[in-house]
Amino acid sequence: MFGFLCRTLRCSAPNIQNSSCFPEIMSLVLIRGLSASSNKISKAADQQQQHSFTVSYLVNKCGLPLKTATSASQMVHFESSEGPDSVLAFLKNHGFSDTQIAKLITRRPRLVCSDPEETLLPKIEFFNSIGITGPDFTRILTQNPNIWFRSVKKRLAPCYDFIKSVVLSEDKAVTTLKGAPRMLMCDMQTSIAPNIALLRKFGVSQSTLLFLVTGFPNLLLRTSAKFEKHVREVLDMGFDPKKSEFVHALRVFAGISKLSRERKMAVYRRFGWSDHEILSVLKTHPMCLMLSEKKIMDGLDFLMNKMGWQRKAVARVPLVLCYSLNKRVIPRCAVVQVLQSEGLLKEADFYLSSVLIPSERVFLARFVIKYEEQVPQLLNVYKGKLGLPELGFGSEGMKQL
């Protein structure tokens, strides 16, 4: 740069070298150049010092790992601990644990530079006013830190008021928000309200709507176009919008792709099920399509091929496909197989539903305790401590029922 300035001076003032002031001018230029460079170095040093302080604070006071703190320091800077200290103290005073605070600042670093009174306190007062306090409050705000930066007047309160107008109860509105706190970050009038209106348009009853909103509120967070598509698919399948099965079917159609549904229905077909039978099962228990292909296949294989139940027996109680094979289905079927082999049970004495649907207490009373004198090992069979071969029974399936 010095050479360039000298050349510039020579071009603009060709006779200046003959001037007696030339040395003074060159000294001035050099001093200014060095001063500018010094300022840049000083500024960079200040920034580095500030950066180092921020990283150190995030690690030592907020509990962030060094790598996370370094990344967060690109989004937030502070030279003093006074402001961040007040934020940490505020959060701790309102029930947030060190782990929750670390998660909050990791996800939203600028929170540490917030004004506790202006930004944080209004949210706490809002949640307290609607009855969300303690662990529920800290969990919601930790999992959804963007709520800290939403306006109570423009977003949070209107959202709560709208939900309350739908479910017609303050308690149910709170239950809904606990289940889907992301609602608080939505614009009700452009997202959830159109979906509610659509459901009412298609004849969804208030009781069904209440079941959906309080039980599965996240379904309403989908875009209006996607939501309407899923609703029409469910209606086209013949589900009654006035019954709870409509909601479960909506969960299925919103939760898995059409290709995935087709693949799972193909598993039923491989076991000889007709489309009419499959549809009947889905109408009875639509959540059967939420099971993995492997679980459906393993369940049908065991119940139909190994145990000998016909598909119409399974179709009557498709819920049994949702049960754990190892923890519920196989232990109970092993007990029944022993009893049948001993001649203690006849076909008319039990059905698939009477074996797999009852609670454990009822099953034990009906099939284990009742016969413990005739078959002392029955409880061990149920608990998996004894297998059928060990008792001298073959592995043939039961007679078709």
The amino acid at 210: L
Q: What is the CA radius of gyration of the chain?
A: 35
Summarised one tens digit per residue, pLDDT across range 266-296 is 999 999 999 999 988 888 899 899 999 999 9
Summarize the confidence of residues 389-395 as an average pLDDT: 46
User: Which residues 6+ apart lie within 8 Å of 142 measured at CB?
Assistant: 96, 100, 103, 104
The burial of 209, by beta-carbon neighbours within 10 Å (0-12 exposed, 13-18 middle, 19 or more buried), is given as middle
Q: Tens of pLDDT along 80-104?
A: 999 999 999 999 999 999 999 999 9
pLDDT of residue 51: 60
Residues in the chain: 401
Q: What sections of 61-79 are H helices per DSSP?
A: 66-72
Q: Give the model confidence (pLDDT) of 121-146 as tens digits.
A: 999 999 999 999 999 999 999 999 99
Answer whether 250's CB lies under 8 Å from 243's CB: no
Tokens for 71, please give them.
């990344």
Task: Categorize the per-residue pLDDT at 394 as very low, low, confident or very high, splitting at 50, 70 and 90.
Answer: very low
Enumerate helices (H) and strands (E) in the chain, giving the number of each: 21, 0
Alpha-carbon dihedral angle through residues 284, 288, 290, 294, given to the nearest 10 degrees: -170
pLDDT of residue 122: 97
Burial of 320 (0-12, 13-18, 19+ CB in 10 A): buried
Give one DSSP letter per residue of 327-346, joined into a string: IIIHHHHHHHHHHHHTT---
> Is residue 390's pLDDT more than 70?
no
Whether the per-residue pLDDT at 366 is higher than 80: the answer is yes
Chain mean pLDDT for the chain: 85
Band the pLDDT of 348: cuts 50, 70, 90: low
Number of C-beta neighbours around residue 246 at 10 A? 26
pLDDT band of residue 297 (cuts 50, 70, 90) is very high
Residue burial 274-304, b: 16+ Cβ < 10 Å; e: rest: eeebbeebbbebbbbbbbeeebbbebbebbb
pLDDT of residue 386: 61
**Are 173 and 184 spatial neighbours (Cβ–Cβ below 8 Å)?**
no
pLDDT at 322 (0 to 100):
95
Higher pLDDT, 35 or 146: 146
Q: How confident is the model at residue 195 (pLDDT cuts 50, 70, 90)?
A: very high
Measure the CA–CA gap between 62 and 105, rounded to whole angstroms.
Answer: 8
Question: Is the pLDDT confidence value at 396 over 60?
Answer: no
pLDDT at residue 106 above 60? Answer: yes
Does residue 355 surpass a pLDDT of 90? yes
The answer, yes or no, to whether residue 65 has pLDDT greater than 90, is yes
Query: Cα 38 to chain center, whole Å?
Result: 53
Range from 23-32, 55-64, 175-184, 335-344 carrying the lowest mean pLDDT = 23-32
Residue 397 banded pLDDT, cuts 50, 70, 90 = very low
pLDDT category at 170 given cuts 50, 70, 90 is very high
* Residue, of 37 and 267, whose pLDDT is higher: 267
